[in-house]
Amino acid sequence: MNRLKELMDSLIKKIKVEKIYASFAEVLGKMKNSSEFIIKIINILNNYLLTSNNADILRKILKSDDKEFFKKLFKTWSNNSVACLILCLIAEDFELSYNLLKKFDQKNITENSIKEYLQIIKIFESNEFTSKSIYKYKYKYFYI
């Protein structure tokens, strides 16, 4: 069992997870007729970003000054407004997050938009989100 763990740890160090994410974003961005599938895959990738200890490197890249990786993901993630908001919050782009939240307010209320609001509330209340260092920052836009 220890050998397996050592092997997994060494593989994780060699695999460029950001390239895998960028490839997913590119492939999903080219898909036209499978929006439900795209949204499911984006949600899976976001859950990994939020919860996995191995995603630390991705979170660091998203927070860095080089925004190319963020832009690649943002373009595809915008298929799902909740996932897009999560991506912006992980990247600590609070101004963009604020602007996205304002767009939610402008939507017509439908069953799907209520589901999206519930997803956002669950995410804000989740241990994965609040246990991250989000409360360290003094928000210009958010007052929690």
d(CA 114, CA 73): 25
Angle made by CA atoms 77, 41, 113, in degrees to the nearest 5: 60
Query: How far apart are alpha carbons 14 and 56 in whole angstroms?
Result: 15
pLDDT surpasses 60 at 101: yes
pLDDT digits (tens, 9 = 90+) for 50-79: 877 778 888 888 988 889 999 999 988 888
pLDDT at 135 over 60: no
Domain-wise residue ranges, the chain: 16-132
pLDDT of res. 74 = 92
Average of pLDDT values for 99-115? 72
The number of C-alpha atoms within 13 Å of 132 and in the hemisphere containing its C-beta is 22
Q: Which amino acid is at 11?
A: L
State pLDDT tens for residues 4-30: 767 766 766 677 778 888 888 898 888
- What token pair was written down for 92? 């600590």
pTM for this structure?
A: 0.68
